[in-house]
Structure 1
Amino acid sequence: LIAIITTLSVISERSNIRRIIRKPVICEQRRNESEQAFNIRVDSERETRLVELAADVVKKYDLEAMILDGPLIPRFRGAHISAIRNLVEIGEKRRIPVAGFVKRPESGYLFRNQDPEFLDSAILSARLNAGECYPWPPKKILDERTGMEFQYTYLKTTSDRRILPFRIDFPNYLDDESCKRILEHMLAITDPLKGVPAIIMMADEEVKLSKKLMRDLYAECVASLMSKYPEKSWGVVMTRWGEFWL
């Protein structure tokens, strides 16, 4: 398996949109590495690079706020934790609010001791109406791996019950009023059908790869791998996703 990772920052300046994109990198599955382990490594690499780019943008530009398309509360160890710490320190130093928008929260911070156990977002979906959040003020949580304290709340952006509340992460240096302004801004620019803030949707669309590009990249990777073996042995190699020349 291979994965292509790139990160993008979209800066909204009144009527202008500025895009900052990092050069893509290719991650290859290692010998004897399981598919699950490979996927975890790719997720860690992607989120680390995203946070690193966010830190660079916060350091360079005078922003009203930085909204990550992903969690601010660390999910991985190593470089990911260092990147989160750096982003929070730069944001606090420059007095720029930072928040993480988690589209598919799998956390059970609020109801982890319930029987049976449910995800926070599943329970809150039945309780919150559009525009409401819980808990308020945001609940503080200590990340034991980093020793850093974060805050979080769940925001219901639409009345559509199929769309669960999203988790919004904040660093500890933001007060309640700053968190409230970020939530109000998210609601103001939310797509009423998908429930996701427009700036997040824009970033998602920008990083999608076309089918033609994926075919070209796939063909290049297959050709590169096949070139490592004698031509007569190519017939015993079965490509997982089909022939690259189709």
Structure 2
Amino acid sequence: INTLLYTLSNAGTVIVVNNRTPKNVLEAVEKYQVELLPTSPTFINLILLSEAYKNYNLLSLKTVTYGTEPMPESTLKRFHQLFPEIQLKQTYGLSELGILSSKSKKSDSLWVKIGGEGFETRVVDGLLEIKAKSAMLGYLNAPNPFTEDGWFKTGDSVLMDGEYVKILGRQSEIINVGGEKVYPTEIESVIQEMANVAEVTVFGKKNAITGSMVCAKVLLEQKDNSKEFSIALKKFCRKRLQAFKVPVKIEIVEQKQHSKRFKKIKRQES
């Protein structure tokens, strides 16, 4: 909605496709010489998987924005390598506060500067908090998400580098393995680099010894032997991740790992 209203208020043109598939969207980009494509990390991954970009002229495309969920670093870098002339910009916003201004450090960087007029940001114990003039009053029949001095607790775990932050993921999705924090997006980014992986969702499951263990659901591009693939995946991860981050349980699934809005289905610890 933010992109729609911003575009129209600046005398821009909005192109809408009936069926949001990579093919249809990129076909519209070529046909109408689209300059800005607002999307999600999940949809960018689908564009890469479909290879539909090979069939269309995308030279008009100047900027691709992404948000609503963490971006796997491997997906970002691969897209940037294919389209180095396109500016990739991470966006950040919340229904409770509105959309903040943002500036990515580089097109292939997950570090982003957020804020703008009417917004203040701070990081407390590794978690992002925001004060906004446009903030909601609160939730109905639910706990107050604001601090006593008016800062909204986003629940997003972040790193800081000067004015820039790197969003690691939701605090509620962190997997605690024997006291070590595991961020699902980091593991997903590694697994996404494997051949034949279409989509992957990493989540935690309770474990009597370590508290939680890392698990992964994987949708393959082509059918493969589940046992052999699981062994290969663990071997692949061991070369790139610390031992406690390597998935213990791997499930090969046939269901898509994203919603109709092209957002990854929420991970749930069980």
TM-score > 0.5 by shorter chain: no
Report which of the two has the higher share of helix: 1
Q: TM-score, normalised by structure 2?
A: 0.26
Q: Which has the larger radius of gyration?
A: 1
Give the number of the structure with larger relative contact order, counting CA–CA contacts within 8 Å between residues 6 or more apart: 1
Of Structure 1 and Structure 2, which has the larger fraction of its residues in strand?
Answer: 2
Alignment TM-score, normalising by the size of structure 1: 0.28
